[in-house]
Amino acid sequence: MRSFVIVAIMILLIPRLEDGFFDLEFLENYYAENDLNEDETSDDDNYDDDEHWLETEIDYEVKWLMGIESTECEKSSDIQNLTLLSTRRYGKALVIDGLLQSSELDEYVYHESLVHPSLLIHHEPKNVFIMGGGGGYAAREVLKHKHVEKVVICEIDKEVVNLCREHMTGIQDTFNDKRVQIVFNDAKDELLKWEEKIDIIIGDVCDPSESSPSNNLYVKSFYEHVVKPKLKGKGIFVTQAGPAGIFSHKTMFSLVYVTLKQVFAYVVAYTALVPSYGDACGWIMASDEPINIEAKQLDKMIDERIRGSLKYLDGSIIAASTVLNKPLKKSLDEETYVLTEENICFVRGHVQN
């Protein structure tokens, strides 16, 4: 009964896109780019069949539903199961081992937030190492920076790159860019043998789970003995840090924050709402150099360094994203649980489709 009430409340409170609540330019652009109109995407059918919904458990007793048009592709590698869905609101969506990774309509919110703050704060980033990022979107954002000379995508699963190259739109130029080097390996193993120092290391890997190959990329020993030694003196590490909602942030966000605080002198957490996730997402920057976040300076860097324009971020939004609400700030101040190989925590959010 309790679950039913919560789902009913969510349905009542979360308006449909055609009702005008999401009167945003990105939605209009998505319709235009994909030759759609609102009538074509309206919910004409009663989708009561479970097969037509992507179901995500985002918290205890709370599930997030996304309408599915069709399953475009399913693949199983030696590492994980990959599914590409065509959804009724968010375009194509990539699901790995039951976890929603990204959707075409709003992926830029996540990837701009992941990439640009650290690259704008760094004085002159030239080489960037992306842990994961096989979809190509993080590298796409990195390549917008004029000073960048080399981008490494270190993806453990070749099938992720193959699937995205074949089915996802707008990233072919990224994979074909001469500055991009794709390596298929575990990020920890690759970094251990990497010889050159790196300006920016980006963690764009799956949340920890019982079956995830990324669990060892969130622990103190990895940050201390692998990531930090590979950064240049003024280098910055940034990682996605899972859900960052008022009720969901304690499963990963606050734990990654306190773990990085054990290793780096300066650590900054920030968040943004990613609509397709049904929750806020968190990222954390870490460095042994001060991390200065000043809106006017960031706008100046965007004007000087970025080719083209950003769809989501500007200096003020980046600065505002670091202002955490009281429950999050309290958790980050009081958290003491440090992630190690022996006590890694798993994130809720597995889906059924």
| C-alpha span between 283 and 292 (Å, rounded) | 16
CA distances from 113 to 133, 212, 271, 320, 334 (A): 14, 23, 8, 12, 25
Q: Are 284 and 259 in contact (CB under 8 A)?
A: no
Q: Is 204 a catalytic residue?
A: yes
**Residue 4 burial (10 A CB sphere; 0-12, 13-18, 19+):** exposed
**Tokens coding 244:** 């960052």
Q: How far is CA 13 from the centre of its chain?
A: 26
Q: Which residues of 288-308 are buried (b: 16+ CB within 10 A; e: fewer)?
A: ebebebeeeebbebbeebbee
Planar angle of CA 213, 117, 152, nearest 5 degrees? 45
Q: Is the dihedral of CA 86, 78, 230, 284 positive or negative?
A: positive
Which of 59, 157, 204, 279 does the annotation list as catalytic?
204
**Tokens coding 183:** 């390596």
Task: Give the Cβ contact number of residue 181 at 10 Å.
Answer: 14
List Cβ neighbours of 112 (8 Å cut-off, separation of 6 or more): 141, 310, 311, 312, 313
Q: At what angle do helices 107-121 and 295-305 cross, to 10 degrees?
A: 100
Q: Are 239 and 203 in contact (CB under 8 A)?
A: yes
| Residues tagged active-site | 204
